[in-house]
A and B are shown apart, each in its own frame.
Chain A
Amino acid sequence: MKTQLNTNTPKTKVEKEPALKGTLASVLFLGFFLIFTWVSVYFLFLNRL
């Protein structure tokens, strides 16, 4: 039997960037929530000095 050569050109893999828009939005939301709580506790401290 004849060895078959693979003549198909290898498919170039197109790497898709994962869609992280929602992740970014939720990470930033959590981040700003944390900063908001830190700042409010700091102002509570200053208010009671």
Chain B
Amino acid sequence: MHMHKYEKIWLFFGIGSLFVFLAVLGVGAFAQGSQPPSCLTTIDPEKVDQTPPFDQPGLVKTGDNEYQLNIVASAFAYIPNQVEIPKGAKVTINVATKDVIHGFEIAGTNVNMMVEPGYVSSYTQTFDKVGEYVVLCNEYCGAGHHLMTAKVKVVEQ
């Protein structure tokens, strides 16, 4: 088949970028162990309030400068809806929902998860900048979706 020289150039770039993406995906998943936030841990969505650690949601110190932040999402609120985190802390955030799919985004950071009923979504983040961050639900969850927010304050130790 005859093909124009220029056509070969852009086909090479197009197919080449496919392989680049496959390589990035493969290295991320198999060599570095990246996973989606909700991938392995499951929970009974009807018993979130009785299941540890979500029976006592909040910030828990788990080690030297390491914390766990457990949050329960439901229409249309996060519990707790105000959290203070010491600056520089490495926080593993676990979120579970009691009803429908919610989002959990700490605006201005890389924390951005989908929270599905039946799964625990987790993400570990180090908070290096002092400030007040808004937590948003970014999955439409019902009539009060736009009111579903919380606050994370990063404070000097």
Binary interface encoding of chain A residues 9-46 relative to chain B, with 1 for a CB under 8 A from any of its CBs, else 0: 00000000110110110011001000000000000010
**B63 interface residue, CB < 8 Å from A?**
no
Do A27 and B4 form a contact, CB below 8 Å, given A45-B110, A48-B109, A49-B110?
A: no
Please give the number of chain B residues whose Cβ is less than 8 angstroms from any Cβ of chain A in the complex. Answer: 10
Q: How many A-B residue pairs have CB under 8 A?
A: 20
Do A28 and B10 form a contact, CB below 8 Å, given A17-B4, A18-B4, A20-B4?
A: yes
Please give the number of chain A residues whose Cβ is less than 8 angstroms from any Cβ of chain B in the complex. Answer: 12
B109 touching A24, Cβ below 8 Å? no
Name the A residues within 8 Å of B6 (CB-CB): 20-21, 23-24
Hey, which bits of chain B sit against chain A, CB under 8 A?
4, 6-7, 9-10, 13, 108-110, 126
